[in-house]
A and B are shown apart, each in its own frame.
Chain A
Amino acid sequence: MTSVEEYQIMTGNHAAANACKGARVQVVAAYPITPQSPVVEKISFFIENGELNARMVRVESEQSALTACVAASATGVRVYTATSSHGLLLMYEILCWAAGNRLPIVMNIAMRSVGAPWSVWTDHQDAFTVRDTGWIQMFCEDNQEIYDTNLQAYRIAEDPSVYVPTFVNYDGYILSHTSMLVKLEPQKKIDEFLPPLKHHLNLGDMNIVKGVCPVTTPHIVKREEGTAPGYYEFRYSLQRSIEHSINKVKEVHDLFAEKFGRSYGNGIYKTYRAEDAEMYIFAVGSVASESRLVIDKLREKGIKIGLISLKLFRPFPTKYLRELFKDAKLIVVFDRDIGYGYEGILCYELKSALYQSKNRPFIKGYIVGLGGRDIITSDLIEGVYRAINLGKKNEYSEQTEFIGLKLDELDFLQKEVK
């Protein structure tokens, strides 16, 4: 039994900072942006008071932040950065560069909406926008999960069969600025779990000089001195490694659970009251947390519904989800993000994953809570009921539906309509 004393009260941002300390990161480069800033403030504190032996590069932009991480990682050290929203989008070019160089960087995204107009509040638009950059992507639902997932992320990213940079995402404010109980692990135990980095590039080792990331061609280059892969082979290798990483994610999660006694579903998704479920809510992060209340209310009404909270978004766990949903009748997807001109991103990713299933469930997607709009339990419940009715008729709506819109309260809109 663990006693209450082993726990500390801290925000999600500080849980992330403590994980960095635990992971003994050697170089941190970051730029302030709401709501991520307290992570870096805390790490700066750890470094200045001697708790963490790391170099902090206080850069002048997010593009430089990730570039410094890329270069430091290529030189051969463990690195960390964190950002949000516009900062993440300013990094976009370097996200691809980090993945293309197969650098085991771990980054936290304190998820926030993307302007215009300006909004500092949470939604998942920033994280989903960067899904095709070649990073592993994991979502968290509470502050302990942020701490634990960050520690796991280093072990996954640095595995010689992976070498892929990894995002650990959590909702801005809802987790980043909310205090919860978090158990911090003793350094010795973390060290046993997370061995020192063995890098495949190691530019800092001057015994083996090399050029990294030159121009490639569409072809394979063959010379007397040897052959070199073309651009295409590198893309293939990155894809295979990310595909393969799902096994590592699971393995590392299980090892972590064994060592520290905490687990998060199977490491790929978490379930809530889903054992005998015929229908499901499918969501990530804050939306998944909120949906737990929805499940309880609907269960009270005798509806056999369960929650699937997706933890691992990249690689997308298609095989697992097909198996999980093989007998599902209905899945309601709540997206705190949107693929403009189509629908919620999580929703269409799930649809695509289940397309080859024998018994395809009816899938209904809703947009919720963009820009931090409160997600009201009763609204979600109403959404589920509507989905059940539509499912019975197998009726698809052409328009993407937004839950929690308040158009009726806009007086100028009412006047126009009159």
Chain B
Amino acid sequence: MADKVKLYDIPEEEFLLPGNRMCSGCGLSLIYRTALKALGPNTIITVPASCLTVLHGMQGFTSVDKISVLNTPFATVAASASGIEAALEAMGKDDKVTCVAFAGDGGTTDIGIQGLSGAAERKTNFIYACYDNEAYMNTGVQRSGSTPYGSITTTTPIYGKTEHKKNMPKILEAHDIPYVATSCAAYPLDIYAKFKRAKEIKGTKYIHILSPCPPGWGFSTKDTIKIGKLAVETGFWPLYEIENGKFLLSNPSKRLLDPAKRKPIELYLSVQKRFKRLSNEQIEEYKRYINQSWEYIKSKNITTQFL
């Protein structure tokens, strides 16, 4: 499991350069800035078409320092990582260089799921990081498999999405990989700790990070941290790790096993324009959904205690 990290444990060295193309207040920007500090140099990252492609900059110049990056078409990031890892093994460098696939929710839960499932099944030695901004943000906020229930997107413009989001970490858990973790942009210490831990483990590691998106979700750029924290504190987005089958709730989510400790979901939903059309029934559905997902976590937690 990830070690406890304090603010001053995080290196000052930066891998993301100032003056990049990310939107003001971008959750991904903070995730990436933090994750790269944990990964350090000697890392090759492969990136599918996504906001992260934009972060990496255009034509000849990049905003990412000291790390090599290979862009790859939308569906193929996990296969790309498989190729990099195979080549590193062939070169005898797989112990020295960390191979990372970093993709958005569309590239992970939708078009990229086949490649990811294949790479995980093959026990490919790499970290797969999914930053989840819950829609196709780079193409203009279209609905993805990871878009939450009731969310207005440009392809669900009137009624909002009629299904809940796909539970990707659960799908990866079913692949019996050594490390699955969830995190959130509002918790950089948690992000750092989990990437650090993932780097130490051999095999397929999956980290799914919720990434609040000011323009896509409809909130002010200053509120990225606030919204991310509400996602966790309401119990909508539980933070946990599963290492070799052992389940552990991360600190920010630990106390939320008790439903009374969870903040009302309305606090999270009401501050984002994408949820402006939610009816009372839909909010009730949200409460049911959150309770149900915590029942699952409870069952995991109890099983693990007896392991």
Cβ of B87 and Cβ of A26 under 8 Å apart? yes
Among B114-122, B146-154, B218-226, B274-282, the stretch that binds chain A is B114-122
On B, residues with C-beta under 8 Å from A are 41-42, 44, 46, 53-54, 56-62, 64-73, 75-76, 78-84, 86-91, 93, 96-97, 114-115, 117-118, 121-122
Cβ of B71 and Cβ of A213 under 8 Å apart? yes
Residue of B nearest to A54 (CB): B90
Cβ of A215 and Cβ of B82 under 8 Å apart? no
For the complex of A and B, the 6 pairs showing the least CB-CB separation, nearest first, are: A228-B60, A71-B83, A60-B118, A64-B79, A68-B83, A75-B87
* A94 / chain B contacts, CB cutoff of 8 Å: 73, 76
Could you jot down 11 A-B contacts, CB within 8 Å? A59-B122, A61-B115, A64-B118, A72-B84, A75-B91, A76-B91, A97-B73, A206-B41, A214-B56, A214-B59, A215-B54
Cβ of A75 and Cβ of B88 under 8 Å apart? yes
* B58 / chain A contacts, CB cutoff of 8 Å: 214-217, 221
Total contacts A-B at CB 8 Å: 168
Cα(A94)–Cα(B71), bound, Å: 12
B36 CB, nearest partner CB in chain A, Å = 12
Cα(A206)–Cα(B84), bound, Å: 13
Cα(A34)–Cα(B160), bound, Å: 45
Cβ of B68 and Cβ of A71 under 8 Å apart? no
Asked whether A195 is an interface residue with its Cβ less than 8 Å from the other chain, the reply is: no
Also in contact, A57 and B86, with CB within 8 A (given A214-B56, A214-B57): yes
Cβ of B69 and Cβ of A211 under 8 Å apart? yes
Cβ of B79 and Cβ of A68 under 8 Å apart? yes
Residue of B nearest to A227 (CB): B60
* B82 / chain A contacts, CB cutoff of 8 Å: 29, 57, 59, 64, 67-68, 71
- 16 additional A-B residue pairs with CB within 8 Å, beyond A69-B83, A74-B83, A211-B69: A26-B90, A54-B90, A63-B79, A64-B114, A67-B80, A68-B79, A72-B83, A72-B86, A73-B87, A94-B76, A206-B42, A209-B65, A209-B66, A212-B71, A213-B70, A226-B60
A94 CB, nearest partner CB in chain B, Å = 7
A209 CB, nearest partner CB in chain B, Å = 5
Asked whether A235 is an interface residue with its Cβ less than 8 Å from the other chain, the reply is: no
Residue of B nearest to A29 (CB): B83
Contact of B83 among A75, A216, A226 (CB under 8 A): A75
Cα(A228)–Cα(B53), bound, Å: 17
Residue of A nearest to B121 (CB): A60
Q: Tell me the A1-55 residues at the B interface (CB within 8 Å).
A: 26-27, 29, 54-55
**Size class of A's contact patch?**
35 or more
Cα(A54)–Cα(B89), bound, Å: 9
| A contacts with B: majority SS | mixed
Cβ of A209 and Cβ of B90 under 8 Å apart? no
Also in contact, A216 and B59, with CB within 8 A (given A60-B117, A68-B80, A203-B84): yes
Also in contact, A27 and B41, with CB within 8 A (given A63-B76, A64-B79, A76-B91): no
A267 CB, nearest partner CB in chain B, Å = 31
* A67 / chain B contacts, CB cutoff of 8 Å: 72-73, 76, 79-80, 82-83, 115
Cβ of A64 and Cβ of B87 under 8 Å apart? no
Asked whether A58 is an interface residue with its Cβ less than 8 Å from the other chain, the reply is: yes
* B76 / chain A contacts, CB cutoff of 8 Å: 63-64, 67, 94
Cβ of B87 and Cβ of A77 under 8 Å apart? yes
Also in contact, A27 and B59, with CB within 8 A (given A94-B76, A203-B68, A213-B70): no
Cα(A65)–Cα(B174), bound, Å: 24
* B61 / chain A contacts, CB cutoff of 8 Å: 221, 223, 225, 228
* B53 / chain A contacts, CB cutoff of 8 Å: 214-215
Cα(A79)–Cα(B89), bound, Å: 13
Contact of B67 among A73, A93, A209 (CB under 8 A): A209
